[in-house]
Amino acid sequence: MLKIYPVAVSMLLLASCNQPLADSFTTPATADWLTYGGTALEQRFSPLTEINSDTVENLGLAWSHEFDTARGLEATPLVVDGVIYTTSAWSKVYAFDAVSGKQLWSYDPKVPGETGFKACCDVVNRGAAFHDGKIYVGALDGRLIALDAKTGSLLWSTVTVDQSKPYTITGAPRVVKGRVLIGNGGAEYGVRGYVSAYDAQTGKLAWRFYTVPPAKGAAPDGAASDSIIEKMQATWDGDWSKFGGGGTVWDSIVYDEEFNQVLIGVGNGSPWDHRVRSNGKGDNLFISSVVALDADTGEYKWHYQGVPGESWDFTQTQSIILANLKIGGADRKVMMQAPKNGLFYVIDRSDGKLISAKNFVPVNWTSGVDMKTGRPVENPEARYGKGLFVATPSGHGAHNWQPMAFSPQTGLAYIPAQEVPLAYVSDKPFVPRQGGWNLGVNLAINTLPDDKAALKAVRSSLRGYIIAWDPVKQKEAWRVDLGGPGNGGMLTSAGGLVFAGNAKGKLVAYAADSGKELWSYDTGIGIIAPPITYSVDGVQYVAVMAGYGGGYGLPAAFAELQGPRPNGRLLVFALGGKASYKIARAPQAPPVIVQENWSPATVTKGAELYGNTCSVCHGGGARSSGVLPDLRRSGVLADKASWQAVVHDGVLKENGMVGFAKWMSRDDIEAIRAYVADRARLVAKEGDQ
């Protein structure tokens, strides 16, 4: 039975009466954390007040659990009737007693190691869903799995994607009206996005909506999206089906009960470059959009496209929060979103009409949004058609998947924001790589400089903040400088607090009204996941997954806590907690000095190949964040045959390191070795900069 605390709920309602904002349609506040965003509103706001601005200084560790992986941990744990359910890398699922930390069960879906190559942004998983005694999880290899919540035993499993294509699942499912909704990823490689609804009891497909149309002349899909195919096709040009078009629904799926609709966030185009994907023509519906679907049938209702014909990996998949706001003296039922492109959107949920949009970080790809059309006013140089363009924000996002939160008490949204510029130039000639990355953009131009002053300038351009944003005024209320990007998601509570972890490994509590730091705990592990809070037998807890990685952290050349990473942890805190805790970090190995010498042309060729292929996992300039091996320090580097066995032949594919024989020759792979060896010599000479 769910534990409901009338005192906490009444305090929340009383506080809300004194604020300009109020949500009359919230689901009942409970002591549990039942779904990804806390409730269907996805506000990540808790009514619990035992841990508050006065008592938080007494917060201490109650218990922790060490996982079997040092890969990124992005999950939002669920708490149901005194049990925590969470997921780790490689889509593993765990259940713990929420008070003692005793592990109750675990489930390993045994995802094949080579699937890791299909995952653009680490082998992460953002969490599970709970419904009717069952736990649901999307596996990296495209399966949707139902488990018995008490025992962890498998109830059913269904494949949701064509596994011969580079699809993955990293997002958390949502359960809506007895159906489990799940999307997928893979748009960097070349897939066609969609969202699917499966019967929660049987796993049978109920409906599917494709976010990108089939090619002109192709047969309909027999899907809920068939009725809108012609409208979508009119916004595309050429044969986009060669690379699927992209538009994957890899994160936000939100149920809006008031309008019986599901709001989905749709990702980037595939390839990135609009000229390659669609001959530079058309808006390319529904990439970079929010789309509203009928919750029963999956039929199209409305959409808002943030970046028509996008070319920068500006996904619109980031957190969608539902609320009622008083705007211009009127009560408006809205959704709020702060996606990668750097603009904070307030949109009417009844019809998808834009109410307001304002940049929350510096942006140079647009000067703002034309409120008559709802379209961005683009910088004519931004599409890099006439040469290089350094975009801010970039595909790393002004705000990425790390969830933001919203407090109906303060009326503020709390955004884990960042500034990560990226240089874009068309990849000419574009050479398709079946099953590999297909961006249409030359990433190698972002290779890090050797000059110390230039390197320092690059590092200083990377910024991270917590921004408290007033969605009514479209104005910043306060900010906290985190020193760099790649930080954790947000939690806010009726105790007047905001909790967030950061890349330096600290979980911090801030005053929700001012941003003043009130408490912190050093986990020793970079945190990218969002915290949650729950209560059992009247005792409130705060929990967070600590484990660095993900799309930014995996290849981050300037990562905090650089070096070999310890295994990730689940940490749970309570007032008066005194559990012991320690982290052992392995020392950084010395660079490997290779005796062979190569021509400058070979090293230059290797730099280009590395920048466009290897850097997305092993770090720019061969500077590893430590999540994956630092190739400059790998013993494999010293031996040509061993290097070829790993990189060409794929002898370590079970660990996620596939062979690249289908895309590169042995000479290409030796050129990469030459470049990495050159980087190792630089480290030996000048040290890590």
Catalytically active residues are 313
CB 355 within 8 A of CB 348: yes
Residue 251 is given by DSSP the state S
Residues 6+ apart with CB under 8 A from 110: none
Question: Which residues are registered as beta bridge partners of 359?
Answer: 343
- The torsion angles phi and psi of 96, rounded to 5 degrees, stand at -130, 150
Which of 77, 191, 199 shows the shortest CA–CA distance to 547? 77
Q: Determine if residue 538 is left, alpha or beta; phi over 0 gives left, psi from -120 to 50 gives alpha, anything else beta.
A: left
Q: Determine if residue 660 is left, alpha or beta; phi over 0 gives left, psi from -120 to 50 gives alpha, anything else beta.
A: alpha
Token couple for 283: 């808006």
- Residue tagged 């061969």 (tokens): 622
Position 219, amino acid: A
Which of 191, 201, 153, 200 shows the shortest CA–CA distance to 169? 191
Q: Where are the alpha helices (DSSP H) in 53-95?
A: none
Q: What one-character-per-residue DSSP string does 114-141 give?
A: GGGGG-TT-S-----EEETTEEEEE-TT
In 3-state terms, what secondary structure has residue 395?
coil
Question: Which residues are registered as beta bridge partners of 466?
Answer: 416, 480
- Residue tagged 């921004």 (tokens): 467
- Residue tagged 């305090």 (tokens): 11
Residues 6+ apart with CB under 8 A from 641: none
CB 634 within 8 A of CB 592: yes
Token couple for 574: 């309570």
